[in-house]
Amino acid sequence: MLYLQRLSVFLFSAHLRSLYDILIFLLLLIFRTMWMQYPGTESMYGMDDQYLIGANLLVKPITAPGVEETDVYFPGNDIWYDAETLQLVSDKAPEDGYEKSKVMCPIDDGVPVFQRGGSILPRKLRLRRSAKLMKADPYTLFVALDANKKASGNLYMDDEETFTHFTSSSYAEANFSADFSSPSATISNSASIGDGWIDQALTMSTNRAIERIIIMGVEQEPKSIAQDGDEIYFHYDAETRLLVLRKPYVSALLDWELAVTF
C-alpha cells in the first residue's frame, strides 16, 4: 500500500483531459492482464496470477498464507527491474516468450512490483494522510534504462480538484527522456502547456519541482553532470549500477536538458 500511495501521481497521469480520453481510459484499463500488453506471447494467455499497471509495472500478488517466495514470469520483449531495490531482475528471456524467476517475498517486504526497462515513472515519496496533502510535494523520477540504454515517460498535471483541465485547458504534460547509449548522455524534459496554464507556468514551476532523478542500469560512473554549464551533484554506485541526481533544480513544467559526460 505504501508503494501505491507513492505511485499515486503515476496513476493520476492517465490522460483524463477530455471525454475522448475518459473513454480510452475506460476501454484500455490501467490494470491489465499480461496478454493485453503482450498479445504476441501465447504462453501468457492463460496467466492470471500476475498483472500490469499500465505498460510499465508488473505486479505479482501473494494470495496464500506463509508464502516466502514466488515465481514471476517476465515477458521476453523487455528487461525488468525490481521497483524497490531498483536492481535488474530479468534480461535473458527469449523474445515472444518469458523468463521464469523465483523471487523472495516475505510479508514485511510487501507485494513484489517490477518496472519495465525503457520507462520513466514519476513518484512522490513523502507519505501523507491523503493524496491531496501531497499536491505540492516534489517528484522523484525513476528511470529504468532498456537494453539500448534509453527510456521515456510522461507526467500529466492539472489542479487535481476541478474540471478546468477540460473547460479552459488548464493542464500540462511533461515528456521525459533519457539516452545513455553514447558517451555524451542526456536526460531531458519537453513540457506541453495547455492554454489555461501557459501564462502561469513559470510561477507554478516551483510547485512541480523534481527533487531527485534515479537512473537504473548505468554501466559506469559519469565524469560530470551539468545543466547549462552548472554542475549537478550526483552519486554513483558501481555495485548496484544506480546513478542518483539530487536537487537538480528542474521542474516538470519547464523544458530542460541535463548533459551527462562519461
pLDDT of residue 243: 97
Exposure string (b/e) for 131-161, b if CB count within 10 Å is 16 or more? eeebeebbbbbbbbbbeebbbebbbbbbeee
CA distance 40 to 190: 32
Domains 33-116 and 119-261 share a fold: yes
Mean pLDDT value of segment 161-182: 90
Residue range 119-261 in CATH 2.60.40.1180: yes
Indicate the domain borders of the chain: 33-116, 119-261
Cell of 192: 506541453
**What is the pTM (predicted TM-score) of this model?**
0.86
Q: Amino acid identity of 205?
A: S
CA distance 39 to 61: 22
Q: Grid cell 523465483 — which residue? A: 102
Q: Write the pLDDT tens digit of every residue in 190-222.
A: 999 999 888 888 888 888 999 999 999 999 999
pLDDT of residue 15: 46
pLDDT of residue 116: 95
Q: Which segment of 27-36, 55-64, 170-179, 235-244 scores lowest on mean pLDDT?
A: 27-36
Question: Above 80 in pLDDT, residue 95?
Answer: no
Q: Write the pLDDT tens digit of every residue in 111-165.
A: 899 999 999 999 998 888 888 888 889 999 999 999 999 999 999 998 888 888 8
Mean pLDDT value of segment 246-253: 92
Band (21; pLDDT cuts 50, 70, 90): low
Band (1; pLDDT cuts 50, 70, 90): very low
Q: Looking at domain 33-116, which CATH architecture does it have? A: Sandwich (2.60)
Instruction: Write down the mean pLDDT value for the chain.
Output: 86
Phi and psi torsions of 92, nearest 5°? -120, 5
CA-closest candidate to residue 259, choices 180, 174, 202: 180
